[in-house]
Amino acid sequence: MLYLVLNLALALGVCVLLFWQQSKHVTFSKRVFTGLGLGVLLGTAFQLMYGVESGVVSDTNAYLDIVGTGYVKLLQMIIMPLIMVSIIAAILKLSDVGSLGKISALTIGILMLTTMVAAVVGIMMAKAFGLTAVGLSASAAELARGQYLQGAVSTAKTISLPSMVLSFIPANPFLDMTGARKTSTIAVVLFSIFIGISATGIALKKPDIFASFKHFVEVAHVIVMRMVTLVLRLTPYGVFALMTQVVASSSVHDIFNLISFVMASYSAILIMFAIHLSLVFAVGLNPVRYVKKIFPVLLFAFTSRTSAGAIPMSVQTQTTRLGTAEGIANFAASFGATIGQNGCAGIYPAMLAFMIAPTVGIDPMTFSFILPLILIITVSSVGVAGVGGGATFAALIVLSAMDLPVALAGLLISIEPLIDMGRTALNVSGSITAGTVTSRLLGATDMRIFNSDAEVNLDDEGEVNLPGSA
């Protein structure tokens, strides 16, 4: 009990330091980095002092979970209201509602194209590092995980592209606002589009009613954005708690046992980051400036391991730091949390399939294996990656479609959190890239905001002060 109290006192001391930084108006990025660094140090200290399997570490993490997971849940709480009011408000401002089709097509197209490329990169890195599941031994936990995955295959096999597309249609939009379904995010996006288009349809026929509704949406938007601001102020604390938990509970022994997979995964992730930057550069934007502006949200995604929870910060980053049009930012962040996640639905299933194929006598480097694998990964990336454990579910669909043994995927359970951190950051990077490129191609990017070197704190009111602006 004494050690638990000591641990919590140290964690509380870090929180006090982060609060002091906030009171002194230290920039958002510096506070997030402080939380990250101190989380790594404290987590390492806990592991060295008590060991990974210690009950003290488990009890400490349970209390840290109140801060870490509590923060993530607050972000999840505001996702649906943010999506709804932001998309409706953006449609009401559009002079040409037909541009919605261009925005959707470009955003989804970029997400799926980059996922296809991610699959190819995953295969290349698996080959380069010589990954194979042949000869790997399984612990009791991994065997149990494998049995669970085997039992989940029946669910994965029922997923098809037509059924997934149908699941996007909100039969009960109020149910989807609770996030009850796996595809609730996209369903709320579609419902919001219907509301926005319906409202613009009465603009000329009933201008007074339209004006009242538009004012109501503007008020709701201001209130929701204030909620986003309040929650984002907790980011340094959330990052600190989440990072402390991850480091304190990570087994160094397990990581070294599967170090080849860890290195191959992060090599593929870094290559895909470079591809994202090349797309940004191709549309005439400075990639170095771009990285500096999006790094805080990538850092949050890395520590929290939730693409959906990163939606509010992603939207805020795109609009206040990158100059992306608000409607496009919301579309990209929302679609990117469910469709075409480069890390979870692209790299991970490709590497697993490559590893497992030799166990059943299949050469993973044959054209007859690679082409179907890439096509299946691209199609299955629609919708499935937005669920809890999205990478695992995406892998189940791919492996079952390729007639590969899914139970072997359980062999990676011990390093799953470590790999998932990088995958999630890549997912969010992909959605931001899709929004940035789409906005730029449609001429909707505010270059004054993008080119501004002024530090914009995401946990401020979202106002951007530009040279020469009022």
> For 403-417, how does the pLDDT look when each residue is reduced to its tens digit (9 = 90+)?
887 766 666 666 777
Show the domains of the chain with their CATH numbers.
2-451 (1.10.3860.10)
CA-to-CA dists, residue 161 to 166, 180, 290, 379, angstroms: 9, 20, 34, 7
pLDDT at position 132 is 81
| Mean pLDDT value of segment 54-60 | 88
- pLDDT class for 136, splitting at 50, 70, 90? low
Question: pTM for the full model?
Answer: 0.79
* Whole-number percent of the chain with pLDDT over 90: 33
- Comparing 121-125, 153-157, 245-249, 302-306, the range with the smallest average pLDDT is 153-157
pLDDT at position 460 is 64
Task: Report the distance separating Cα 274 and Cα 269, nearest Å.
Answer: 9
Asked if the model's pLDDT at residue 51 lies above 50, the reply is yes
| Mean pLDDT value of segment 49-72 | 88
